[in-house]
Amino acid sequence: MNYIEHIGKYFIMLGQVFKKPLKGRIFREALFKEIEELGLKSLGIIMFISFFIGGVIALQTALNLDSAFIPRSLIGFAAKRSIILEFAPTFCSIILAGKVGSYITSSIGTMRVTEQIDALDVMGINSLNHLVLPKVIATVFFYPFLIILGMALGIFGGWLAGVLSGLFSGVDYITGLQSDFKPFLIVYALIKTLVFAFLIATVPSYHGYYVKGGSLAVGEASTQSVVWTTILIVIMNYLLTQMLLT
């Protein structure tokens, strides 16, 4: 019954979030701030992890396909599919859920326990719209670019790992990248990214907005928000794969 209550409160919260902002100028300032906090400051970790995980995927694929009967171009093909379909949209989103989700919950939760949200409500400001909508727009519009960058760096990291290790040639890798390329796979990955970005912005906001207690409660809410965001990302990943690829 407790879960049903949380689901209901979550959707009620969304109804308040997507109302028209009261002041456009203030909303734009908040939006640019959230793009910097939630998007630009996540560039480094996504670039770093994408590059090296792409290299690991290519090396492991090469080591597991060590047979004279298997074309070496299959390494590039397998790395491309793995990075585009799962690693970039799903794995990077889980990383962002941990980094960004905890930040969102702690920042909103701190405002709740210090009664700053109550002050906004007293002034007649829709606090949910003011605090959450810029985060939703910032993540939904910026994270697809972040994931595309992760795809590119992951594929490049795989190519560089093969060239430096000597396990496969760069020409074979590029041939595998070009073989049987389906543009819909990019669309599929971006659709997943949009859904995951929405969850990353709204689920931690829910946990922060409705937190009760002091600073200890904010820390517990941050942990819960990361766990539940990750669980929902995994569930939606399965459902979207069923709907879009099968």
Helices marked H in 1-42: 2-17, 24-34
C-beta of residue 149 within 8 angstroms of C-beta of residue 89 = no
Structure tokens at 26: 């203030």
| Phi, psi values for residue 133, rounded to 5° | -60, -45
Please state the domain extents for the chain. Answer: 25-245
Radius of gyration of the chain from its Cα atoms, rounded to whole angstroms: 21
Q: What is the pLDDT along the chain (246 residues), one digit of tens a residue?
A: 488 888 888 999 998 888 877 677 888 888 999 999 998 999 999 999 999 999 999 888 888 877 667 777 888 888 898 999 889 999 999 999 999 999 999 999 998 988 888 888 888 888 888 899 999 999 999 999 999 999 999 999 999 988 888 888 888 888 888 887 888 989 999 999 999 999 999 999 999 999 988 778 888 899 999 999 999 999 999 999 999 887
- Using CA atoms, how far apart are residues 122 and 139, in angstroms rounded to an integer? 28
C-beta of residue 21 within 8 angstroms of C-beta of residue 127 = no
What is the model's pTM? 0.90
**pLDDT at residue number 217:** 86
- Using CA atoms, how far apart are residues 101 and 200, in angstroms rounded to an integer? 6
**pLDDT at residue number 191:** 94
